Amino acid sequence: MDDGVRTIEIFGTDDMRFAVAEAGEGLATEGMSKGYMILTAIEAAPGEELRITLNTESMLPATAMSHNWALLALGTDTDGFARASITARDNGYISPDYADQVIAHTAMLGAGQTDTITFTVPSEPGEYDYICSFPGHYAGGMVGKLIVQ
């Protein structure tokens, strides 16, 4: 899709990491996970349109290993969001108490599933957390930063 929107394809892996198949402009990577480069940060300009495609690569059933990508507003209590979301299974593990602090998120995806979202990067510069809110994944390190500058 060549509509001028930057597209980032992210893989959620069984070892609870966000990863990419190849390095790209504005992507910070560190180490490897299941043959992919671990994604630690995405750099973007204020107001830029971003398209995120999340793919879950897993050998486990969805009840044991699913992933989403949730971008939180600047200043959100990320620990609190993750804790509250653990009990929000019926809402895709996105806590309704924090819904107003979620800028964008994919669906919760089991093995072989894909979801694509498009959103406008916030206008305020800063480091915004993105996490997987499936139980245990944030604590396990499935987190990164959207760096707006």
- Give the burial string for 102-129 (b: 16+ CB within 10 Å, else e): bbbbbbbbbbebebeeeeebbeeeeebb
Q: What is the CATH number of domain 6-148?
A: 2.60.40.420
Encoded tokens for 80: 């609190």
Instruction: Report residue 1's pLDDT band, with 50, 70 and 90 as the boundaries.
Output: low
d(CA 148, CA 122): 7
Render pLDDT for 120-136 as a digit per residue (tens, 0 to 9).
999 999 999 999 999 99
Q: What are the sequence ranges of the domains in the chain?
A: 6-148
Output the pTM of the full model.
Answer: 0.96
Quote the DSSP letter at residue 99: G
**7-66, pLDDT tens digit by residue?**
999 999 999 999 999 999 999 999 999 899 999 999 999 999 999 999 999 999 999 999
**Residue type (1 letter), 121:** V
Can you give the pLDDT at residue 106?
A: 99
